[in-house]
């Protein structure tokens, strides 16, 4: 016997089947509810902003402001110095030998199209001993300087070679020692000028240089070769710290 269903009954059966299927899907647990997907709130997310210009050349990536930090060594010879202890000249006391002075320097740097201007301060110390005069003599020097420098460091895409010129005001404190007496003096402030050349080191290890830029903001590392002349300061009763042009060398880092 064949069972014949009317079209109305067939439609009702189909609708009932669809409703049963929809109900079963709606009651099923979502992956989030089952713990299969970890959901983070917007407050727990951290945005990481990476500078995209770290791999660009220096001319492209450099910003308007920067900082120099430097370690310097200079061969200082106060050729016009006369001791207030006994009136002997520097030549008589130390045979014109150089005083090794070690400096720490810090500069603010303003960059523009042609190059950069840097305004900074430095401090250094050095001493020399000798007994050629018949008495053991020591000259100790502490030096402070304020300097304005102009550097041509934006001509090439990378500052492989960057010449600069600087004008400074300096202040020195002296301890002029003999075996029986010590004269301490701080002559008036004087002026000095400097010509130098920055030699970039980054090309020697490109990957390390770029990592230093990305991680520490180190833009450049230079060997600093320079010549400075200290001009006379004070009067006849003051120690004359004037020098001929003297050379120096240092390590300079730009941030």
pLDDT in tens, 180-207: 999 999 999 999 999 999 999 988 887 8
pLDDT per residue as tens digits for the range 135-154: 899 999 999 999 999 999 99
Q: Where are the domains of the chain?
A: 58-254
Q: What are phi and psi of 90, to 5 degrees?
A: -65, -35
**Domain 58-254: which CATH number of 3.30.365.10, 3.40.50.970, 1.25.40.10, 2.40.160.20:** 2.40.160.20
* pLDDT mean over 91-110: 97
What percent of the chain has a predicted confidence (pLDDT) above 90?
63
* pLDDT mean over 172-185: 93
Residue 59 has pLDDT above 60, yes or no: yes
Angle value at C-alpha 146, between 189 and 78, nearest 5 degrees: 50
For residue 248, give the H/E element and its range.
strand 246-254
User: Strand, helix or coil at 162?
Assistant: strand
The predicted model scores a pTM of 0.75
Residue 167 has pLDDT above 90, yes or no: yes
Angle value at C-alpha 71, between 168 and 250, nearest 5 degrees: 85
Read off the pLDDT band of 209 (50, 70, 90). confident
* pLDDT mean over 219-239: 92
Residue 51 has pLDDT above 70, yes or no: no
Q: What are phi and psi of 212, to 5 degrees?
A: -65, -35
pLDDT of 1 = 46
* pLDDT mean over 50-68: 82
Angle value at C-alpha 178, between 175 and 181, nearest 5 degrees: 80
Residue 66 pairs in a beta bridge with 109
Residues of the chain by 3-state class (helix, strand, coil), percent to 5:
20, 45, 40
Q: What are phi and psi of 98, to 5 degrees?
A: -80, 150
What span, in angstroms and rounded, lies between the C-alpha atoms of 63 and 27? 59
What span, in angstroms and rounded, lies between the C-alpha atoms of 24 and 16? 13
Residue 75 DSSP label: E
- Start-end of H helices in the chain: 7-27, 58-61, 90-94, 206-216
- Average pLDDT over all residues of the chain: 86
Residue 117 has pLDDT above 60, yes or no: yes
């Amino acid at each position: 016997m064949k069972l014949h269903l009317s079209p109305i009954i067939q439609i009702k059966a189909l609708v009932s089947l669809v409703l049963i299927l929809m109900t079963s899907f709606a009651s099923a647990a979502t992956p989030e509810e089952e713990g299969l997907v970890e959901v983070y709130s917007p407050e727990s997310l951290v945005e990481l902003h990476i500078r995209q210009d770290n791999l660009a050349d220096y001319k492209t990536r450099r910003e308007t402001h920067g900082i120099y930090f430097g370690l310097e060594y200079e061969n200082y010879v106060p050729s016009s110095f006369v001791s207030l202890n006994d009136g002997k000249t520097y030549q008589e006391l130390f045979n014109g030998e150089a005083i090794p002075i070690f400096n720490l320097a810090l500069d603010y740097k303003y960059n523009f199209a042609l190059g950069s201007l840097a305004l900074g301060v430095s401090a250094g110390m050095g001493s020399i001993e000798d007994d050629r005069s018949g008495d053991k003599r020591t000259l100790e020097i502490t030096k402070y300087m304020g300097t304005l420098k102009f550097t041509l460091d934006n001509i090439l895409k990378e500052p492989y070679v960057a010449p600069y010129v600087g004008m400074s005001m300096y202040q020195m404190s002296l301890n002029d020692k003999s075996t029986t007496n010590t004269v301490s003096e701080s002559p008036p402030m004087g002026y000095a000028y400097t010509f130098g050349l920055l030699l970039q080191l980054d090309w020697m290890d490109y990957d390390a240089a770029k990592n230093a830029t990305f991680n520490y903001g180190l833009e450049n590392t230079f060997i600093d070769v320079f010549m400075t002349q200290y001009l006379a300061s004070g009067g006849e009763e003051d120690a004359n710290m004037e020098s001929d042009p003297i050379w120096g060398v240092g390590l300079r880092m730009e941030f």
